[in-house]
Amino acid sequence: MEKLLEVKDLKVSFNTFNGEVQAVRGVTFDVLKGETLAIVGESGSGKSVATKSIMKLLPFPQAVIKNGEILFENEDLLKKNEKEMRRVRGKDISMIFQDPMTSLNPTMKIGNQIMEGIIEHQGVSKSEAMKKAIELLELVGIPNAKERVHQYPHQFSGGMRQRVVIAIALGCNPKLLIADEPTTALDVTIQAQILELMKTIQKKTDSSCIFITHDLGVVANVADRVAVMYAGKIVEIGLTEEIFYNAKHPYTWGLLGSMPTLDAQEEELTTIPGTPPDLRNPPKGDAFAPRNAYALKIDAEMEPPMFKVSDTHYAATWLLHENAPKVDPPPAVQERMKGFALSGAPEIAKEGEQS
Amino acid sequence: MREKLLEVKNLQRHFKTGKNSVVKAVDGVTFDIYKGETFGLVGESGCGKSTTGRTIIRLYDATGGQVKFDGENVHGKKTRSELKAFNRKMQMIFQDPSSSLNPRMTVLDIIAEGLDNHGLVKNAVERQERVEELLEIVGLNKEHASRFPHEFSGGQRQRIGIARALAVEPEFIIADEPISALDVSIQAQVVNLMKKLQKELGLTYLFIAHDLSMVKYLSDRIGVMYFGNIVELADSDELYKNPIHPYTKSLLSAIPLPDPVYEQSRKRIAYDPSIHNTDEESEFREIKEGHWVKCTPTEYAKYKAEHNSS
């Protein structure tokens, strides 16, 4: 399949009073046409910074892109100036933010907020843009779209507001949609609706999507491929099935182990001890080593390269080196990798009559 | 027979939002919590689960109904000393650890505030020792006592919140979404800590959350709230295996699990409140032992037939 976006060895730092924070330390990934790539990781792992640099939405001049290339349809976005970027933002690439409360303008009618991008990029008249806005609202499942375009954000519920944000993002049929924790602020039932909506729309428009989240359940639901980030690096990347059923990196094991299974007569959840490293002076060697029960001596010396597990699956851990001792994931994690659902998923979800 | 620690009877809490409008945030909630158990309360935002928790601990006055703790009415008239004694028995852990800790107080003072108010320590040395002991219980270091909240990460701050709640040796702790603001790996740490403390100190928890899989993991019994009412209440395994109320079914079918193959086949059930016949009175009824559902008499007969035959 064709590559839509290629990010190569991206490094981003922030200059703060306390010194330089190396938020992203060499990230390489690509996004194919029509696929969904999920990026998971703890807060502070650099997942938002990496994707915001694709849109160049970082707070310059504090943020410095130190190195790397971001090729979107073979054009380097990092070489574009602000004026050229404005033509990309909202048109070819658009973004859905986490909190629909703060990403909408409270003093503007939502119709006008949707029209803004359409008028800017497509040069259509106001009345045409309004028509398009109503269509978009209908597409994202807002009833009475004709009346509701004239309402303000506070007149919408959280889930409805997130639908409006999605409508804005879809305004110009973007080729790439970046969704930064779009459902974290929402309830499970609303979350399920929004995820379904995003999937249907993506199928309809054949766009690609980068989905940032820390909820592994959501990842399993939406993603074709998954990248796991830790301390500003991708530590494991692969097809969704490969990550969930055959994870190789101890950090990924930790993430899986900390999710409770549903039959849960377990005494304790597996946890990842400690906290992420300070990225002002990232540790020498493997950044995850201090929290890793399986750390080898070499982890303190040298950073592990990406080892190949399969054509689509790579992991950065010395455990995959040919000379490394063979280590199996902890039993609780093995159990989960056989499939969470086996451990007593609610029967009800299998016999649901509505999709 | 297990001993009841908390009895909530037909609890109501209404808010006046204007001249003629009233929001019935909690409207007739009834449940008991037994000694030593964890009772989970789930529901979507705005269903009144936090209001229920806050009313139980007297942060809000009840509009109607009764809360009895150890046989004593929580909302009854109390003298200062009675109130003080009551406050010691029941404590709360809040959702957002960064806004529930005073940024101008050191951790020592935050945790010792309860000790001071209740006169549980005699002098500064004892105070310091007690706080250090509490810090150790929740997995922090003694050295942390002299620091300020902003010097800690989210998970550590939540541990401070827990230490503060434990300071006065309560019997009962209300945890209002204690892990929602934390990362997955940190969530597991805090949940493990809460479980450990329960075992060691014999605590009783009311655990309020919207993350159903964590609630399932932590709770012995679960109540599902919808629009100010509990619609279903059962043992947590029973609730997951045999949900009866359509809202519970819808809620369970919406949980995404970290299992791609399962996710592809998962189908969501939408909840349509209009299926209930509003002519008949809806009441909380016991379908099976310990499994309660809010239903009308017709629904009751139907549920009972379905679930007792299988």
pTM for this prediction: 0.84
Mutate: best of B151, B262, B265, partner A, most A CBs <10 A:
B262
> Is a pLDDT exceeding 60 seen at residue A259?
yes
Q: Which residue of A has its CA nearest to B218?
A: A264
What's domain B4-242's superfamily in CATH?
P-loop containing nucleotide triphosphate hydrolases (3.40.50.300)
Q: Counting Cβ atoms within 10 Å, is residue A18 exposed (0-12), middle (13-18) or buried (19+)?
A: exposed
Residue B61, token pair as written in the block: 């006055």
Q: Counting Cβ atoms within 10 Å, is residue A124 exposed (0-12), middle (13-18) or buried (19+)?
A: middle
Q: How far from the centroid of its chain's Cα atoms is residue B170's Cα?
A: 15
Tens of pLDDT, residues B249-277: 988 888 888 888 888 888 888 888 888 77
Tens of pLDDT, residues A293-351: 888 888 888 889 899 999 999 999 999 888 888 888 888 888 888 877 666 666 666 55
User: CB of B170 within 8 A of CB of B203?
Assistant: yes
Q: Which residue of A has its CA nearest to B216?
A: A262
Question: Measured between CB atoms, does B212 come within 8 Å of chain A?
Answer: yes
pLDDT in tens, chain B (310 residues): 688 999 999 999 998 888 888 888 898 899 999 999 999 999 887 788 889 999 999 899 899 999 999 888 888 888 888 888 888 999 999 888 878 899 999 999 999 999 999 988 889 999 999 999 999 888 888 888 899 998 888 888 988 999 999 999 999 999 998 888 777 777 888 888 899 999 999 999 999 988 788 888 889 999 999 988 999 999 988 898 889 999 999 888 888 888 888 888 888 888 888 887 777 778 888 888 889 898 888 888 888 888 776 5
Other Cβ atoms closer than 10 A to B20 = 6
- Which range among A179-193, A207-221, A266-280 shows the weakest confidence by mean pLDDT? A266-280
Report the residue count for chain B: 310
As a whole number of angstroms, the distance between CA B137 and CA B135 comes to 5
Residue A194, token pair as written in the block: 């929004």
Query: Does the distance separating the beta carbons of B153 and A244 come in below 8 Å?
Result: no
Question: Measured between CB atoms, does B193 come within 8 Å of chain A?
Answer: no
Which among B153, B241, B260 has CB closest to A347? B241
Mutate: best of B180, B242, B253, partner A, most A CBs <10 A:
B253
Instruction: Tell me the Cα Rg of chain A.
Output: 21
pLDDT confidence of residue A353: 46
Residue B115, token pair as written in the block: 């000790």
The residue type at B251: L
Residue extents of the structural domains in chain B: 4-242, 244-310
Average pLDDT over residues A53-57: 90
Query: Does the distance separating the beta carbons of B217 and A264 come in below 8 Å?
Result: yes
DSSP letter for B74, please.
T
Contact residues on chain A for B212, CB-CB shorter than 8 A: 188
Where are the extended beta strands (E) located within B74-143?
A: 90-93
ipTM of the complex: 0.78
Question: Measured between CB atoms, does B153 come within 8 Å of chain A?
Answer: yes
> Which percentage of chain A shows pLDDT scores above 90?
39
Query: Does the distance separating the beta carbons of B266 and A255 come in below 8 Å?
Result: no
Question: Measured between CB atoms, does B251 come within 8 Å of chain A?
Answer: yes
- Mean pLDDT score across all residues of chain B: 88
Q: Residue A142 in 3-state DSSP?
A: coil
> Is a pLDDT exceeding 80 seen at residue A170?
yes
- The Cα of B200 is separated from the nearest Cα of chain A by a number of Å equal to 14
Mutate: best of B180, B185, B268, partner A, most A CBs <10 A:
B185
Q: Which residues contact B30 (CB under 8 A, 6 or more apart)?
A: B8, B9, B10, B11, B230, B284
Tens of pLDDT, residues A32-41: 999 999 999 8
Which among B216, B243, B259 has CB closest to A340? B259
As a whole number of angstroms, the distance between CA A241 and CA A225 comes to 8
Q: Which residue of A has its CA nearest to B271?
A: A189
As a whole number of angstroms, the distance between CA B49 and CA B53 comes to 6
DSSP letter for B248, please.
H
Contact residues on chain A for B275, CB-CB shorter than 8 A: none
Tens of pLDDT, residues A114-159: 999 899 898 899 999 999 999 999 888 888 889 999 999 988 888 8
